[in-house]
Structure 1
Amino acid sequence: MEPNYDHTYSVASNPVYYENQNLHVLFAGKSQTLPLHQAGPKIYDYYLLHYVEGGSGIFRTEHRTYELGVGDCFLIHPGQLVSYVSDRDHPWQYRWAAFTGKESDELVLQAGFTPEQPVLSIAEGSVIPTSLGGMLEAFYANKESAHLTSLGYLYLIIGEAAERLSIYSRLPGAGSQVKRTVKQMIHFMSSQYAHPISIEQMCDSLGYNRAYLSRVFKQETGLSPVTYLLKLRIEKSRQLLRERPELSVEQVAASVGLTDALYFSRQFKRFCSQSPTSYRIKVTRQSDKSVH
């Protein structure tokens, strides 16, 4: 005896109308499909992401065919001829969301989705199912704020996809992974230098051993992370000493993440061969001469 599947279908549109916005979620929905339910072959003019909650089915693109089941996502790219069909015995149950906008192409690229790689298998504890459900609930509430809420959920989805798909892209070569890790370290220091961060905190944040990070960082930049961070702080302090004459040396030091003004002054002299006060006087005089 064949199992009986009750067909269900729910969809809700974004209450905010799309007018050339940079990024916009158009609608979200969920469905328990009937056996052999098929969509396409057809093309869409927006991105359409599906997450399979139950059952299985087949997704066909211009490039290949995928057999997908619980925990799989597939992203339909605009302008691509696709079709997807539910399994005869275990038709899939899925959630979906459609999005568009001028920044959508770049966002999808950052996530690692391409027409040749449109499929993602999620891990346990994924935010994707709850995010798609949150979009649908927000649209059902029919409030203007649903537009922003849906974007928040979309970024959570894209963030997880980027993390999962980057694992696959990193596997072939270790060299590219080292360069990527060093870029992450530089970005971390460039955005956090104003806070009293430590190299240990950065290593914990990136999830790597300190000895390993220090070694690869020095290989790529010629400097240890400690020296790089200190040089970065001194460079930022020089800028403040030049451009913000109303700040005291102590305030400049604190603004670049060094709470000990005496330590700051010693390190400044080490890198610049003069004290912060002397440097400020010198650049002020040079500025006055250039004006006259």
Structure 2
Amino acid sequence: MALEHYHFTAGFNLAPDDHDLSVLFSGEGKPVPGHKMGPSVHDYYLIHTVIDGEGVFQSGSNSQGCSKGDTFVIFPGALFSYQADMDRPWTYVWVALQGEAVEQLLHEVGITRDKPIIHLDNLIEIHKVYEHIRLSFQQSAYPRLESLEASGWLRLLVHKFGVANISSLPSQSIELPDVIDRQIDQAIRWISLQFHQQISIDHMASSLGYHRAHLSKVFKQKIGMSPKQYLLKVRMDKAKKLLGGTLTIDQISSSVGFNDALYFSKQFRKWSGMSPSEFRNHLRTGK
């Protein structure tokens, strides 16, 4: 590398995960004028971001000049080559990755095999993220933790690609929900995740920025029940599932947002026609 680069440094993952998404290695270098890689193919994804200078990237039959701020992606199995300019050889940072989720993740930020190049303006931030990825690999006694850290920084890097390339994101073709649907979705999400807490519908509405009467009206029009009724449904449905397990009635009561097990039992009987104990026995015996 010393003969081909004025500067070269890299970090390597000793414990990559082959399934979802994993960084293999990451580095930074300034090659000598005219330095060329390829024509070749890789069995992993390789992303380069040009920090300074110029060069040419070729993927298949398509060739394009790249300069400061350009990022090009080499896809597995794709024939590629890239070469530093003779007068102003580029300096670039890179990261190699693999996993079943990678191609879809890149597609979501507008990078595809047909469009493997994007331009970035926030190079200082981007450069720092690449550095964090590379420095994750300190060759410590805990390579799996290093791999986990690098994957986290990699996701942040891809996020920044998406922000820079927002005009090309495929999500632009997706119809956004209208205001009312958004309000209801937020309320449903809140209830579904917080049902085990002592939820106040007034507090939920104000936290979401809505008046309770308005939220209750549009919620009932869309869902067919009020937020309070929907909260009870979520709690009772969850209680039914828990009654199939080994938790006590008191523990189930607390798990679905009731401080008083007796009150929970009364509400459950109104909802299902059986007490929690009777419902549990029905699940076990089928009678």
TM-score of the superposed pair, with normalisation by structure 1? 0.66
Instruction: Assess, with a 3 A threshold, how the Cα gap between structure 1 residues 285 and 42 changes in structure 2: closer, same or farther.
Output: closer
**What corresponds to 2:275 in structure 1?**
279
Q: Is the 8 A contact 1:131 1:154 kept in 2?
A: no
**What corresponds to 1:135 in structure 2?**
133
**What corresponds to 1:86 in structure 2?**
84
Separation in structure 2 between the aligned mates of residue 76 and residue 115 of structure 1, nearest angstrom: 8
Deviation track 1:45-86 (CA, whole Å, cap 9, x = no partner) reads 111122232234333323744544444433211101122233
**What corresponds to 2:102 in structure 1?**
107
Following TM superposition, by how much is the alpha carbon of 1:31 offset from its aligned partner in structure 2, in angstroms?
0.6
Separation in structure 2 between the aligned mates of residue 180 and residue 160 of structure 1, nearest angstrom: 29
**What corresponds to 2:42 in structure 1?**
44
Following TM superposition, by how much is the alpha carbon of 1:238 offset from its aligned partner in structure 2, in angstroms?
2.1
Instruction: Assess, with a 3 A threshold, how the Cα gap between structure 1 residues 173 and 190 changes in structure 2: closer, same or farther.
Output: same
Amino acid at match of 1:252: I
**What corresponds to 2:255 in structure 1?**
255
Amino acid at match of 1:171: Q
Following TM superposition, by how much is the alpha carbon of 1:193 offset from its aligned partner in structure 2, in angstroms?
4.4
Q: Is the 8 A contact 1:44 1:79 kept in 2?
A: yes
Q: How does 1:184-195 map to 2 (within 5 A)?
A: 193-194=195-196
Following TM superposition, by how much is the alpha carbon of 1:176 offset from its aligned partner in structure 2, in angstroms?
8.2
Deviation track 1:98-119 (CA, whole Å, cap 9, x = no partner) reads 223xxx1323313434312434
Q: Tell which deviates more after alignment, 281-290 or 29-38.
A: 281-290
Following TM superposition, by how much is the alpha carbon of 1:10 offset from its aligned partner in structure 2, in angstroms?
1.8
Q: How does 1:97-246 map to 2 (within 5 A)?
A: 97-100=95-98, 104-111=99-106, 112=108, 113-122=111-120, 124=122, 128-139=126-137, 141-161=138-158, 165=162, 167=166, 168-175=169-176, 193-194=195-196, 228=230, 230-244=232-246, 246=248
Separation in structure 2 between the aligned mates of residue 22 and residue 40 of structure 1, nearest angstrom: 28
Deviation track 1:101-141 (CA, whole Å, cap 9, x = no partner) reads xxx132331343431243444574986533431333343x3
Deviation track 1:211-236 (CA, whole Å, cap 9, x = no partner) reads 9xx79988986677776555333211
Following TM superposition, by how much is the alpha carbon of 1:209 offset from its aligned partner in structure 2, in angstroms?
6.7
Instruction: Assess, with a 3 A threshold, how the Cα gap between structure 1 residues 195 and 23 changes in structure 2: closer, same or farther.
Output: same
Amino acid at match of 2:146: T
**What corresponds to 1:3 in structure 2?**
none
Q: Report the count of equivalent residues.
A: 270
TM-score of the superposed pair, with normalisation by structure 2? 0.67
Instruction: Assess, with a 3 A threshold, how the Cα gap between structure 1 residues 136 and 216 changes in structure 2: closer, same or farther.
Output: farther
Following TM superposition, by how much is the alpha carbon of 1:182 offset from its aligned partner in structure 2, in angstroms?
8.8
**What corresponds to 2:9 in structure 1?**
10
Structure 2 residue runs of 5 or longer lacking an equivalent are none
Secondary structure of 1:171's aligned partner: helix
Separation in structure 1 between the aligned mates of residue 61 and residue 209 of structure 2, nearest angstrom: 40
Secondary structure of 2:97's aligned partner: strand
Secondary structure of 1:7's aligned partner: strand
Amino acid at match of 1:14: N
Structure 1 residue runs of 5 or longer lacking an equivalent are 1-5
Q: Is the 8 A contact 2:47 2:73 kept in 1?
A: yes
**Considering only aligned residues, what root-mean-square deviation do their CA atoms show, in Å?**
4.6
